[in-house]
């Protein structure tokens, strides 16, 4: 068992369910997180936003119908339902389920917010929520973000945790220079820059690839030696790893 979730290793890639294992369910639902846990995924990814009145909610898109999450009060956000009938989960509700598994790592994507004040607030709220659920633990959580500021802040506040930058516009050495210890790049960036996997590993960084659903792309990421594969198809990735 790895001491720190997401640390570079020479093992087969670990499987991260993208927005939970949702194939017959709703993305980012509690039911999809539960399925990822039951399937034995190494990790399960979710996306979070802060409402205007500072409630962290789990959803991918910044808008639900006509409701803009980050500029709306929680009450309005909550009026919306996921397609499986669940209400839009708060991070607290989601973490109740995350805590049910002792093994499935929560890969927590904190979405960019309007400014640094809001990004500081969403980071603070996430860390407090994780702490309250006894999940603020580097073996239980990996942080990811497209916001470089959020990644740098998390690396500063949580130096023992894996933090992976998502945008794909910087080399591992550039990211490492800012004390961020991982990358999580679209697989096409890693195909274009296969040397980045070795470069990251030589710097002690972890490499995650999103969102890898097709057999040829999954095979390529296995061949490149990434540490995690984030996928909408955990079953296919598992089958290909086991070949
Ligand atoms: Mg995401």
Q: Give the Å distance between the CA of 177 and the centre of ligand 1.
A: 24
pLDDT value of position 88? 96
Q: Counting Cβ atoms within 10 Å, is residue 203 exposed (0-12), middle (13-18) or buried (19+)?
A: middle
The answer to the question of residue 14 being in a domain is: no
* Inside any domain, residue 165: yes
Going from the Cα of 109 to the center of ligand 1, the distance in angstroms, rounded, reads: 6
pLDDT digits (tens, 9 = 90+) for 57-87: 999 999 998 999 999 999 999 999 999 999 9
144 CA distance to ligand 1 middle (Å): 8
228-231 and 14-17 strand pairing: parallel
CB atoms near residue 24 (< 10 Å): 9
**What are the structure tokens assigned to 84, written together?**
């499986």
Overall average pLDDT of the 150-166 stretch? 98
Q: Does residue 148 lie within any of the structural domains?
A: yes
Measure 110 CA to ligand 1 centroid, in angstroms: 8
> Residues 12-26: what's their mean pLDDT?
95
When the pLDDT of each residue in the chain is averaged and rounded to a whole number, the result is 95
Q: How far is the CA of 182 from the centre of ligand 1 (A)?
A: 16
CATH number at residue 61: 3.20.20.190
Q: Which residues pair with 106 in a beta bridge?
A: 44, 141
Chain segment 90-147, per-residue pLDDT in tens: 999 999 999 999 999 999 999 999 999 999 999 999 999 999 999 999 999 999 999 9
In a domain, 13, yes or no: no
- Distance between CA 219 and CA 143 in Å, rounded? 25
Q: Check pLDDT > 80 for residue 9.
A: no
Does 6 reside within a domain? no
Number of domains in the chain: 1
Quote the ligand 1 centre to 10 CA distance (angstroms). Answer: 25
pLDDT score of 1 more than 50 = no
Is 5 domain-assigned? no
Half-sphere exposure in the Cβ direction for 174 (13 Å, CA)? 8
Q: Is residue 9 a part of any domain in this protein?
A: no
Q: What is the largest CA-CA distance in the chain?
A: 49
Instruction: Tell me the percentage of the chain whose pLDDT exceeds 90.
Output: 93
Residue 146 lies in a domain: yes
Q: What is the pLDDT of residue 11?
A: 72
Domain residue limits at 96: 19-242
Ligand 1 geometric centre to CA of 32 (Å): 14
């Amino acid at each position: 068992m790895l001491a720190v979730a997401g640390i570079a290793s020479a093992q087969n890639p670990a499987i991260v369910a993208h927005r939970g294992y949702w194939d017959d369910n709703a993305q980012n639902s509690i039911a999809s997180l539960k399925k990822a846990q039951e399937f034995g995924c190494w990790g399960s990814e979710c996306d979070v936003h802060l409402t205007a009145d500072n409630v962290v909610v789990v959803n991918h898109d910044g808008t639900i119908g006509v409701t803009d999450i980050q500029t709306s009060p929680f009450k309005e956000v909550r009026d919306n339902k996921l397609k499986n009938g669940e209400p839009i989960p708060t991070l607290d509700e989601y973490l109740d389920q995350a805590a049910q598994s002792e093994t499935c790592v929560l890969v927590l994507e904190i979405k960019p917010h309007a400014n640094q004040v809001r990004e500081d607030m969403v980071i603070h709220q996430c860390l407090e929520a994780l702490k309250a659920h006894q999940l603020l633990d580097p073996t239980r959580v990996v942080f990811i973000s497209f916001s470089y500021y959020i990644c740098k802040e998390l690396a500063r506040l949580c130096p023992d945790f894996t933090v992976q930058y998502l945008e794909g516009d910087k080399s591992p050495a550039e990211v490492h220079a800012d004390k961020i210890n991982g990358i999580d790049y679209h697989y096409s960036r890693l195909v274009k820059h296969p040397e980045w996997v070795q470069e990251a590993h030589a710097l002690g960084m972890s490499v995650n690839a999103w969102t890898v659903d097709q057999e040829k792309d999954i095979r390529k990421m296995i061949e490149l030696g990434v540490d995690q594969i984030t996928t909408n198809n955990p079953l296919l990735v598992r089958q290909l790893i086991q070949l």
